[in-house]
Amino acid sequence: MDRKNSKRILYLLLIYAVLIVGFYFIGDTEIRTEESYSELPSADNVLGEISEGTVIEQQFRSKVDAITKITLNMATYARTNRGLIVVSLVDTAAQTNVSQLIMDSSLLADNSLYEWQLDTPVKNALGRYYTITIGSECPIGEAPTLYWHNGILPDTALILNGEAVEQTLCFSYAGRTVTWFGSHYWFLAGGLTVLILVYLGWFYFRSEHGRSTILGTIFGVWDRYRFLIHQLVSRDFKTKYKRSVLGYLWSFLNPLLTMIVQYIVFSTIFRSDIKNFPVYLLSGIILFNFFTDAVGQGLSAIVNNASLITKVYVPKYIYPVTKVISSSINLIISVIPLFLVALFTGAPITKALLLLPFGLLCLIAFSIGMALALSSAMVFFRDTQYLWGIISLAWMYATPLFYPENIIPEQYRLIQKLNPMYYIVKFVRTLMIDGVSPEPVMYVYCLGSALLMLVIGAAIFKKTQDRFVLYI
């Protein structure tokens, strides 16, 4: 193995180490934990007015690592009440107050669930006993009440004015629990590191003996055809806006203007309660427009470069790959208005946005796989370009770009689950709208679908490329 490739491998290992450590801290709790909820008991009756002097103590054992929310089933006797309700969350063993809430009884709705979002999550709560203590400053006849469930649930106890009763409050709690992935992250990272080192050792051995490897082939193609790749990408990008007055500015304006038009349509004519709809809409438009443009350009790459392919030897896969890369430049430029809209609409700007390149790289890899497969099909079946127009249109409507995903009927949810673009779009939206990392399973879906399509596309292209010259 030559010195140049040795340096490249060292750089790759350094980047890998930074990514592994950075991902752990940037992903934060979202990659290590998952939301958990306790079941809300059925409401059988009310316990009576929570008037001044009434003390209610509901004990429970936490099944989550961090308690973030308490839910109580309230009733007001269909009247407007007066006074304050004081709710405290107490660590039963330590007898310490970990959080407190003061409710204005006049603002409570009848027969409704009151969600108490704790100011600070109660951490290290798994297996510990806590007590929800409820007191009142409401006068008799103007006080609300709580629903209870007939019977004592496991790991619970209800005390009413100092006496234990055979009921359980209709309450639930929510929080986050450490996942298997979170608890084994460094073990998995270490295992992956070992596999990478084993592969590099195998790569070194084969290189020393003059045998080819995938990594060696990539390095070789880059060294030999770097200038050509640069020229092809540059040509495609410049040709796209040739003789256009605004030129490259259209990469910025096109998704923004499209978003404005669709926002007006779907926010006025078709009303939606989607959180931060402008960012929701624009992120979907940018990602899917790139996908259709990159694949659409890539599928005709072999046919349109027939004169070069028949006269000069160049690895044929370079042509569709460079088409996707040139479209990727537009994608990067299009992300700028997405950030501007996010800032304008008050979307959270957090460290989780550093994970955005992962979603974009998965999309690019998936598009390359599609371009390789379809460019091969285009050589033998020229109607592929027309079929792709129809397929991409159906694919667009099957992906929740401008409508909420929860409106999809249950019988069609399988189509959604099998749609790789759904996961990639959702990944980016979680970062942009919620400001947090998606759950670990989303990384698996995005990376898995991208690699699978890339392998399938490469296999099809490799199997058919030797016959291209007979049909182009």
Residue with the larger pLDDT of the pair 95 and 247: 95
Question: If you write DSSP's letter for every residue of 126-179 in order, what string do you get?
Answer: TT-EEEEEEEE-PPTTS--EEEEEESPPTTEEEEETTEEESEEESEEEEEEEE-
4 falls within a domain: no
Q: Which pLDDT tens digit goes with each residue over 344-359? A: 888 888 898 999 999 9
**340 domain residue, yes or no:** yes
**Same domain, yes or no, for 361 and 258?**
yes
Confidence at residue 30, expressed as pLDDT on a 0 to 100 scale: 81
105 and 235: one domain?
no
pLDDT, one tens digit per residue, over 313-326 is 788 889 999 999 98
Residues 154-166: tens digit of each pLDDT: 999 999 999 999 9
Locate all alpha helices (DSSP H) within 241-355, ordered by sequence: 249-264, 277-299, 301-304, 306-311, 318-344
Residues 110 and 250 in one domain: no
Listed residues 114, 147, 177: the one ending a domain: 177
Asked if the model's pLDDT at residue 256 lies above 70, the reply is no
Give the range among 5-9, 241-245, 407-411 with minimum mean pLDDT. 241-245
| pLDDT 10s digits, 47-89 | 989 999 999 999 999 999 999 999 999 999 999 999 999 999 9
- Residue 241 belongs to a domain: yes
The answer to whether residue 134 is domain-embedded is yes
0.75 cut: is pTM over it? yes
Q: Given 142, 177, 212, which residue is the final one in a domain?
A: 177
pLDDT in tens, 204-237: 777 777 777 777 778 778 878 888 888 888 777 7
DSSP string, 262-287: HHHIIIIIS----TTHHHHHHHHHHH
326 domain residue, yes or no:
yes
Residues 145 and 283 occupy one common structural domain: no
Does residue 182 lie in a domain region? no
Q: In this model, does residue 247 exceed pLDDT 60?
A: no
Amino acid at 373: A
**Confidence check: pLDDT of 380 > 70:** yes
132 has a pLDDT exceeding 90: yes
The model's pLDDT over 174-193, given as tens digits with 9 standing for 90+, comes to 998 888 888 889 999 999 99
Tell me, letter by letter, the H, E, C secondary structure of 10-35: HHHHHHHHHHHHHHHHHHHHHHHEEE
One domain, residues 275 and 383: yes
- Boundary (domain end) residue, out of 155, 177, 199: 177
In a domain, 24, yes or no: no
In this model, does residue 248 exceed pLDDT 70? no
Q: Which domain holds residue 341?
A: 224-470
The reply to whether 136 and 238 lie within a common domain is: no
Distance CA 82, CA 104 (A): 8
pLDDT at 270 over 60: no
Question: Which run of H or E residues covers position 66?
Answer: strand 66-75
Residues of the chain with pLDDT > 90, as a percent, come to 49
Mean pLDDT of the chain: 87
CA distance 58 to 36: 20
* CATH number (domain holding residue 109): 2.60.120.820
Do 247 and 132 fall within a single domain?
A: no
Residue 333 lies in a domain: yes
What pLDDT does residue 217 have? 78
Instruction: For residue 129, list its beta bridge partners.
Output: 61
pLDDT at 227: 83
Asked if 380 and 246 sit in the same domain, the reply is yes
Residues 163 and 245 in one domain: no
Q: What domain count does the chain have?
A: 2
61 and 173 fall within a common domain: yes
| Average confidence (pLDDT) over 244-273 | 62
pLDDT per residue over 410-459, tens digit each? 777 888 888 999 999 999 999 999 888 898 889 999 999 999 999 999 99
Whether residues 168 and 248 fall in one domain: no
Same domain, 279 and 411: yes
Nearest to 25 by CA among 355, 425, 428: 355
